[in-house]
Amino acid sequence: MKIFTAYIEWDAETKLYVGIVPGIPGAHTQGATLDELKENLKEVLELCLEEYKDSMEDLPQFVGLQQIEVAV
């Protein structure tokens, strides 16, 4: 069992939550609720990991998030 971090945004135009798992190509999806998004992310992540199972060490490694302050 491995735990991954997902980045989640609210898309006001589509009225959907959008989630990505940084460092895993193709691991992104959307859902109408946070629970639906979590289930969709789990499903797509399992599919992506199956695809990359022989080259997991070659995938980018998620390091973190950083806030940047700019004058607007």
Is the CB of residue 5 less than 8 Å from the CB of residue 62? Answer: yes
Q: Is residue 27 part of a domain?
A: yes
Residue 65 is predicted with a pLDDT of 83
Residue 53 belongs to what domain range? 7-58
Q: pLDDT tens-digit profile of 9-63?
A: 999 999 999 999 998 989 999 999 999 999 999 999 999 999 888 887 778 777 8
Residue 61 is predicted with a pLDDT of 79
Residue 25 carries which side chain, given as an amino acid letter? Answer: P
Please name every residue paired with 11 in a beta bridge, in sequence order, or none if there are none.
Answer: 16
Q: Is residue 64 part of a domain?
A: no
Q: Is residue 41 part of a domain?
A: yes
- Tell whether pTM > 0.85: no
CATH code, domain with 35: 3.30.160
Query: Given the DSSP bridges, would you call strands 16-20 and 28-31 parallel, antiparallel or unpaired?
Result: antiparallel
d(CA 33, CA 10): 10
Q: Is residue 65 part of a domain?
A: no
Residue 18 is predicted with a pLDDT of 98
